[in-house]
Amino acid sequence: MSHKVAPSVLSADFGNLQRDIEMINNSNADWFHVDIMDGVFVPNISFGFPVMASLKKHAQKPLDVHLMIVDPDRYITRFAEAGAHVLSVHIEACTHLHRSLQAIKAAGMKAGVAVNPHTNVNQLEDVAGDLDLVCLMSVNPGFGGQSFIENTYRKIEALKNMQARLGVQFDIEIDGGVTLANYKKLVDTGATVLVAGNTVFSASNPIDTISALKQ
Ligand code: DX5
Ligand code: ZN
């Protein structure tokens, strides 16, 4: 199975959002990556439901929603109504992660967990069978355009080992600092979804760049 590419809307031009959404519609991208930040869990505020509604209206590909918010349980049904296909919550923001994952699935979405750079992925072992996706943060969450953290390769390997050991499957998504220089090694190591913000939207030809990331 070939890997997926999910351009991050955070790096789009919000004054020309429909144009940038159409660009992604017309590209080889698989998903829209949608970053929701609350200014509490991360030191930045991105956007909320009104922008999600505009996205939903124009996007012709699944919405991969990454919640960087405290107490995400409060909003699970709202994000289902807003059209999320995958909903990822941060392990660091969930006291009852197992319950959160069940609630996401009960609302009809794929369940993802995002993991900060300092968090050991072995903490996921007891929910591994409940996961559709693990989003490995390869930068500290909050901003686009940061440098990739090299330790991420080890975390991919640890997740691959966990999958083999437990006989479970889930997507391994890499979020932050993905470039044309590192994407191939990430896929070869075991990544199945690549998020790309700056690499796509700062490119002179975003459509070609998305195609290159799909190679
Ligand atoms: C960071 C976000 C990322 C971000 C990635 O907190 O979760 O999705 O948009 O941006 P780049 O690809 O520019 O590092
Ligand atoms: Zn993200």
Distance, in Å, from the CA atom of 204 to the CA atom of 23, rounded to the nearest integer, reads: 13
Q: What is the mean pLDDT of residues 111-131?
A: 98
Q: What are phi and psi of 67, to 5 degrees?
A: -90, 115
pLDDT in tens, 65-86: 999 999 999 999 999 999 999 9
* Residues 6 or more apart in contact with residue 153 via CB below 8 angstroms: 185, 186, 189
Query: How is domain 4-213 classified at the architecture level of CATH?
Result: Alpha-Beta Barrel (3.20)
Q: How far, in Å, is the centroid of ligand 2 from the Cα of 179?
A: 15
Q: How far, in Å, is the centroid of ligand 1 from the Cα of 166?
A: 30
**Ranges of each domain in the chain:** 4-213
Distance, in Å, from the CA atom of 198 to the CA atom of 116, rounded to the nearest integer, reads: 19
Q: How many residues does the chain have?
A: 215
Residue 98 pLDDT greater than 90, yes or no? yes
Helices (H), 37-169: 49-58, 76-81, 97-106, 152-166
Cα-trace Rg, the chain? 16
pLDDT at 156: 98
Q: How far, in Å, is the centroid of ligand 1 from the Cα of 125?
A: 25
C-alpha neighbours within 13 Å on the C-beta side of residue 167: 0
Sheet order of strands, 171-175 included: 4-7, 193-196, 171-175, 133-137, 110-115, 84-90, 63-68, 32-37
* 175 part of the active site: yes
- Which ligand ends up closest to the CA of 86? 2
- Which ligand ends up closest to the CA of 11? 1
- How crowded is residue 176: how many other Cβ atoms within 10 Å of its Cβ? 26
Atom index in ligand 1 nearest the CA of residue 11 equals 9
Residue for token pair 């930045």 = 44
* 73 part of the active site: no
Q: What is the mean pLDDT of residues 51-55?
A: 95
Instruction: With H, G, I as helix, E, B as strand and everything else as coil, classify residue 204.
Output: coil
Burial label, 17 (beta-carbon count in 10 A; 0-12, 13-18, 19+): middle
pLDDT at 176: 98
Q: What is the mean pLDDT of residues 129-145?
A: 98
Q: Which of 64, 143, 147, 186 is the pocket-test mutation for ligand 1 (most atoms within 8 Å of CB)? A: 143
pLDDT at 52: 96
Residues with CB under 5 A from ligand 2 (ion): 35, 66, 175
Q: What is the mean pLDDT of the chain?
A: 98
- How crowded is residue 201: how many other Cβ atoms within 10 Å of its Cβ? 20
pLDDT at 137: 99
Residue 1 pLDDT greater than 90, yes or no? no
